[in-house]
A and B are shown apart, each in its own frame.
Chain A
Amino acid sequence: METPSGQLAARILKRLVEEKLLRPNDQDKLLDNLAVGKLKSEDWQLAIELAQAKEKEA
């Protein structure tokens, strides 16, 4: 069974992508670490900065 954390992680990342706070192709990369509690401050910052940069480019 997919763990509750795994299910929730997928939902959170989907929302973050919808809100353009995350790049779609980062979703899979972050999924496991988010679910098991290994997404560190620097990972969050990088992911959100990259999404911000992408939005700026667009």
Chain B
Amino acid sequence: MSASRLEKLTIEHLRGSVVPFSLPFEKGKKLTVIYGENATGKSTICDAFEFLGKGRVGSLENRGLGKTERYWHSLGKKPADVSVTLQTTSSTCRATIGTKDVVVVPAEERPLVEVLRRKQILDLIEAEPGKRYAAISRFIDVSGIEASEASLRQLLMDLTKNREVAVARVQENQDAISQFWEAAGTSNPDMFDWAITEASRESGTFDTEIGAISALQTAFARLTGYPDHLASANTALTSARELEHVAKKRASEFLESISQDAGEVVEILTAAHNYLTKHPLPATCPLCESPEKTDGLAVRVDHRLAAFSKFQAAQAEVKQAAQLVQKTEQQIQMWLDAARKHVTEFEQCRAAYVWPNDIPLPISPAPQDPPHLSAWLAANSQLSIECKKAEAVRHDKKQFISTLKKALKTWEVNTHAQKELDRLLPRLTKALEIVQDERKQFTDVLLSKIADEVGLLYEAVHPGEGLNKISLELDPSKRASLEIGASFCGKNTRPQAYFSDSHLDTLGLCVFLALSARDQPEYTILVLDDVLASVDEPHVERLIEMLYSEALRFRHCVITTHYRPWKQKLRWGWLQNGQCNFIELTKWTASNGLTLIRSIPDIERLRELLTETPPDCQLICAKAGVILEAALDFLTLQYECLVPRKQAGLYTLGELLPAIDNKLRQALRVDVMTGADTVGESVYNTISLTAFLSELTRIAQARNVFGCHFNQLSFDLLDADALGFGQQVLGLMDVLTDGDAGWPRNGKSGEYWETAGTTRRLHPFKRPM
């Protein structure tokens, strides 16, 4: 970022600059006042600075044009033709319109620019508090801190809630442990000692016991079914054997009733039937090979077989009964084998564990043989129920330990959490207090500083009006909302309600200046575009003086104005213009664009006229006469001299010169600052005005003769008389006024009248009577 001095601004085809326009900046002058009537191109110059510094053209905004980029270039030109170049003592940077944005090369040389237009003043003062806040938020906005502060506040709330939960959990689990402890008989006087000891018991012990009991129970349960199974199987065997016996008997009886060898016959007939099914028409008998009676042999065989069918059924019953007997015997054997196996398993199970006392084990081992097993089972029928009870007891104990463990763990965790939070929460509370305090203090101090600054600036423009007590207040009930307050008739109020437009304009300007001066003013080019619009006459001079002194704080200050008296006052050197480069714009034309003319103060113009060869006596006398009138007007007003009263207050030299009487003429002297001594004290050379005024009284008619009228007298006068008049006036003005510091109008010392910077001290303070 550069603070180097500005040398030249060149604008090409931006808005009114239809042809390239260059604005030179005088060396040693940080303030450039650009005067021009309306439509002379003042705003184009302001736009050029804004284009360069901010990449925008603010004067076109908020005019209902939508995107304004298409209006940036001069009529008949293209965006690519637009460029603004700022030449400084250290570098040159150029801004052009790129594809998306304004491009500045080199980017690091892009100047900081603040542009204030009259509309922005209204925004600052008349806008809603929220919009006003937005206008100055970058100077006071601490929303980042507010967001981080909100996180801290949320953390505090969350952890406070967590602590409450932890406290509740601690109490809850303490109550639970207490109940367990009381239920356990409070044998250990310390509840938590007891709980810790109990909770340290291995729940695996219970699992092993429960497993063993369960296995024993299962093994016993398996045995209990065998007596019934065997009894049923034996009954079934008996029945099967009876059935077999009955079937055999019936088959035998049936067989006897048919023939002794009926069995063999049936077999032969069955074989014949099978043969005849395959060979239905045999030529001979397949048994005896006789060809007799072969016709109808198959039918006759089937008839005989039908006669033997009951016998066959009886035989099938016998076979079936025999199979049933065999199957039932196998079943009984299977039960016996299984019972023996499970008896062995039960005994193994019993032997595998050292059983606690509450398990009533059978006195004798389980017998292998079924009749004894049945008796044994009957004798130990309670074993299963007792095992269930024992199992339930262990489940309960296991559950209790688990619950106690959980309660103890939860109690420990929450007690720890509570202690941690008890240490952390006060720190967080303190941190939040610090953040809140610092934020409020910072914002208050910041706003107060800005408000004080605004008040000082405002007081400079409106001295003694009692309107300097400006305050800037953030509305605590609304975020990002700024109120402006002021003292009016001794009451704190909103200035918008009571101040005149002129006062509000000044206030807005002061707020803007105070804010701009906070943001690296030494690097900032401040541009004030026609901001004096509604400032009234009595205040404008002080406002200009204020702007002069404020401009020194910035890298450079450009003020545009169409306020004509400013031009005149500068012409007359009535304003301190040591820092001021006054530039006048003349009428803008479509062919020439912006055109500047250089205005120089009349005293400087007289000085130039006196050096011209050959001298123009008429011009010298005319200019010198006007300047002398101004000087005498000043002196007669300053010393309240007696002049004839006139309607329009227009006085001639013939009236003004005698008004400065002898006493005053003798007393009038000016201390002219010539430098400073070794300790920095100003050194003055005192010059009396008596000789100037006496000589001017003597040759004053030269003005009328040469300067004002055509008359033959001028033919007789020498050019030297005209030059003498001009030189006397210039001499008087060089003593009385300072080209940079203005006229000695300030009477704050009470001893003399002084210029800005006390470069001139005019004595006496009062007209000697």
Contacts and interface: CB of A to CB of B under 8 A. Distances in A.
A45 B435 CA distance: 15
A19 B155 contact: no
A3 B145 CA distance: 11
B148 interface: yes
Nearest to A42: B155
Given A38-B148, A44-B155, A12 B141 contact: no
Contacts of A40: 151
20 contacts: A4-B140, A4-B141, A4-B446, A7-B442, A9-B148, A12-B434, A16-B431, A21-B427, A22-B431, A34-B144, A35-B144, A35-B148, A37-B146, A38-B147, A39-B152, A44-B152, A44-B431, A45-B428, A48-B424, A48-B428
What 8 pairs across the A-B complex have the smallest Cβ distances? A37-B147, A41-B155, A5-B144, A39-B148, A37-B144, A36-B144, A8-B442, A12-B438
B175 interface: no
A19 B442 CA distance: 18
Contacts of B148: 9, 33-35, 37-39, 44
A42 B144 CA distance: 17
A3 B144 CA distance: 10
A3 B438 contact: no
Interface of B: 138-148, 151-152, 154-155, 158-159, 423-424, 427-428, 430-431, 434-435, 438-439, 442, 446, 518-520
Contact of B434 (A15, A35, A38, A51): A15
A26 to B, nearest CB: 12
A19 to B, nearest CB: 6
A4 B155 contact: no
Contacts, number: 92
Interface residues of A, number: 31
B525 to A, nearest CB: 15
A50 B700 CA distance: 90
A31 B423 CA distance: 25
A5 B141 contact: yes
A8 B151 contact: no
B145 A41 contact: no
A43 B152 CA distance: 9
Contacts of B427: 21, 48, 51-52
Given A4-B446, A11-B438, A34-B145, 5 more contacts: A5-B142, A21-B430, A36-B144, A41-B152, A45-B428
A7, A12, A38 — which one has the most chain B CB atoms within 10 A of its CB?
Answer: A12
B423 A52 contact: yes
Given A21-B427, A44-B428, A5 B152 contact: no
Nearest to B441: A11
B431 A49 contact: no
A42 to B, nearest CB: 8
A58 interface: no
Nearest to B150: A37
Contacts of A43: 151
Nearest to B423: A52
A29 B154 CA distance: 21
Nearest to A41: B155
A5 B142 CA distance: 4
A5 B146 CA distance: 9
Nearest to A30: B148
Contacts of A22: 431
A22 to B, nearest CB: 8
Contacts of B431: 16, 19, 21-22, 44, 48
A1 B428 contact: no
A41 B140 contact: no
Most chain A CB neighbours (cut-off 10 Å) among B144, B428, B446: B144
Nearest to A47: B431
B158 A41 contact: yes
B327 to A, nearest CB: 79
Contacts of B424: 45, 48-49, 52
B151 A44 contact: yes
B430 A19 contact: yes
A33 B158 CA distance: 21
A8 B145 contact: yes
Given A8-B442, A48-B427, A41 B434 contact: no
A15 B519 CA distance: 25
